[in-house]
Amino acid sequence: MRGVVGVILAGGESTRMGTDKASFELHGRSMVEWVADAMTGFATVALVGRRRGPAGMEAVPDLHPRAAGPLSGLQTALTVWRSPVVLVAVDQPLVRSETLARLGERAAANETAICVDGRPQVTCASYATTCLGEANRQLRTGGSIQQMLKSVPWTRVERHDWSSWGEDGRSWFSMDTPDDLIAAEQRFRLDLLG
Instruction: Look at phi and psi of residue 58 and say left if phi exceeds 0, alpha if psi is from -120 to 50, else beta.
Output: beta
Rounded Cα distance, 98 and 96, in Å: 5
> What's the distance, Cα to Cα, between the start and end of the chain in Å?
33
Amino acid at 175: M
Residues of the chain with pLDDT under 50: 14-17
Quote the pLDDT of residue 193.
67
**Secondary structure (3-state) at 105:** helix
Cα separation, 103 vs 178, in Å, equals 28
Q: Which residues contact 183 (CB under 8 A, 6 or more apart)?
A: none
At 139 the pLDDT is: 94
Q: What is the pLDDT of residue 15?
A: 46
Q: pTM for the whole thing?
A: 0.91
pLDDT of residue 19: 56
For residue 12, the model assigns a pLDDT of 57
User: Alpha helix (H) ranges present in the chain?
Assistant: 31-38, 71-81, 97-108, 132-140, 145-148, 159-164, 178-188
Q: Work out the angle at residue 181's Cα, subtended by the Cα atoms of residues 176 and 182, and round it to the nearest 5 degrees.
A: 135
